[in-house]
Structure 1
């Protein structure tokens, strides 16, 4: 994959995360195809993709389609579908992937890369994603903050390409540690944000919330350690910091519930519960949050 040539990029599952990274890559001169819902394809065909950032609003010309054939000919495929749709996405796009295409999993959870690789029969680069985005409407994405990526094995060259395009990207042999650190933050905040109906800053001031965050984090650390994962020593401090750094944001789980869509809770708190059962580690706080979100669904 030459760093001097534009990359043909396909985004499988062009929601808020996929649209944002697709927009940044298109701005850098890479031909981008978004694969998403019909409303997205229609809006982008009519007026382009609208991107709101702290610097203002831009309209970006790129291609948007609804079918998996949109990955055909792509050098780089960003898989951004919900965790529950991983296998279906893999099966649908497998016939169209170019032999040399590099596939990245930009998804919540810790095992999507492995699950996708088993469907595709080829390596998939797991990526820890740190970005706050939201869809404001069809073909209209808003960037709230960050945007950095940590790429796992197989992603060294791609990381350099992404950096050149303005996306902060680093490579790590231990990307699983980063994925678990993000999972821990998601387990602590996503369900509470969805059930409480409040942004993180206001939520943190609620009675008992700090203690619940500590309980969930403690369980995640115990399960991660038993799985051979190294989490940061200041993991709880990182969890608590979200109340300040993302005070006005609501979780993706909250956004899904508000839209009547299935959440990713089975791959967040649910994953910790299942791993805890496998390893003989109690996870009561994660279990309660998982159960309550499933009821809300």
Structure 2
């Protein structure tokens, strides 16, 4: 059974390897690191599992973990160190060395050539190399550097993705930000370097290279057709079936001309968003910030306009001496590209681009393969690209400054941290003040209720006293009248005292009942 090797366990590599394992539980998969020090049991051995474990969390909160991976390294000279480290830690998942049938490359573009150099001796014309990266130009660079002779060249598959992915702290753990049903991966097979087999006729059962690029045929369904005889076709067949098996990521296989257009569009989108977020805000700027002000919008417009000029000229040159198809030209028009750029900014407004993160941490960026690629293409076509050339130098400068300890970016980071801490402290104080205010209000209400109860009691006593005085006067008159009428004075006085006592008791019970009701009402109000 063919083994898959995944080179580059960053955000994209983690997501892809995770879904390859889910879709192909019995396929051997090796995670390829640069050297033996690029992994350790603290970072990859989780919960006692003696193999690397990958974790993908959706923004909805669902988390899935996969294991069962082997480990390999790109630097062949580091193999002894890897084996020794594995033996010391009791690891049993090393599968290093030997030929590579299928290599899936998810590293940053600027690190690809160096990584492939360490694997070059293990790759052959029967191997398959899949590139899933930002930017363009890596394929041409690898062919020129390692396989200038097409006869010895491996087969290549190129890909592009619209899935939103971000690191989630530890290595091998990512946050998948695209909602279910959104985001896609598009693949395309580079034509046979030996010109012996028409890959697209094999895959679709008919020639599709001349079909309009804007209306491509449907992606071939699994299982794929039996491959024709030829160098590496069995490995290419197995690789494509694996790449198309990851259905949660919505994979499709496109004819190479259509896929190439998708790569160029992604290049224009990255060229407008990534460098601007990298050079503005010290690497902390989110994508959505570019559309929140008129100056930011104008910067996006300038970059997009220049990219459109380069890509439109490229399309005309590509189809010369025949005119370029009108629908293809419209695809790379300024209006079309600007609409796409604005849509991406809106959809990813809360994201920070990978280039911004690289600049913030003083790392090398992919700028040479994005804006630098556009500038080089413009130079070959005679199109001036001052905006893209300036952005290339600005990003490189920012990255270099970010990598100089104790200079600009440490101060920026410190300022941002202080601002965040001040905001949190202000929020805490505001909550404390609100709590105190509510407590003071409750105490004031209690005091007002108590004062009101006291006023009511005083008024009640005054009323009782007035009523008692009136009653006494009435009783005195009644007693006097009764005595004059011949009644026994003793009996009259006894009866009068009994009535007065009953009236006094009734008044006290009424007050007690009223006070109780007031207390219950206060309790309910509290």
TM-score after normalising by structure 2: 0.51
Matched, 1:31 2:51: no
Whether the 8 Å contact between 1:91 and 1:119 is mirrored in structure 2 is: no
Q: Which residue of 2 aligns with 1:140?
A: 173
Q: What does residue range 93-172 of structure 1 map to in structure 2 within 5 Å?
A: 93-97=119-123, 100-121=126-147, 122=153, 123-136=155-168, 137-145=170-178, 146-153=183-190, 157=237, 158-166=239-247, 167=249, 168-172=251-255
Q: What does residue range 46-85 of structure 1 map to in structure 2 within 5 Å?
A: 46=46, 48-54=53-59, 56-61=62-67, 62-68=69-75, 70=96, 72-85=98-111
Q: 1:274 aligns with which of 351, 376, 392?
A: 376
Taking the aligned partners of 2:98 and 2:141, their CA distance within structure 1 comes to 21
RMSD of the TM alignment (CA)?
2.4
Q: Which residue of 2 aligns with 1:44?
A: 44
Matched, 1:254 2:356: yes
Instruction: Kindly provide the CA deviation profile for residues 208-263 of structure 1, in whole angstroms up to 9, marking residues without a partner as x.
Output: 12222122112112112222364625221111101221111111101111222101
The structure with more radius of gyration? 2
Closer/same/farther in 2, CA of residues 68 and 134 from structure 1, 3 Å limit: farther
Taking the aligned partners of 2:128 and 2:144, their CA distance within structure 1 comes to 15
Unaligned runs of 5+ in 1: 1-5
Q: Which residue of 2 aligns with 1:178?
A: 262
Q: 1:235 aligns with which of 309, 319, 337?
A: 337
Taking the aligned partners of 1:120 and 1:67, their CA distance within structure 2 comes to 15
Aligned pairs, number: 292
Closer/same/farther in 2, CA of residues 41 and 141 from structure 1, 3 Å limit: farther
Whether the 8 Å contact between 1:15 and 1:135 is mirrored in structure 2 is: yes
Unaligned runs of 5+ in 2: 77-95, 148-152, 192-198, 204-236, 319-327, 400-526
User: Using CA pairs below 8 Å that are at least 6 residues apart, which structure has the higher relative contact order?
Assistant: 1
Q: Which has the higher helix share?
A: 2
TM-score after normalising by structure 1: 0.88
Q: Deviation of residue 18 (structure 1)?
A: 1.1
Taking the aligned partners of 1:31 and 1:41, their CA distance within structure 2 comes to 21
Taking the aligned partners of 1:77 and 1:185, their CA distance within structure 2 comes to 27
Q: Which has the higher strand share?
A: 1
Q: Deviation of residue 8 (structure 1)?
A: 2.0
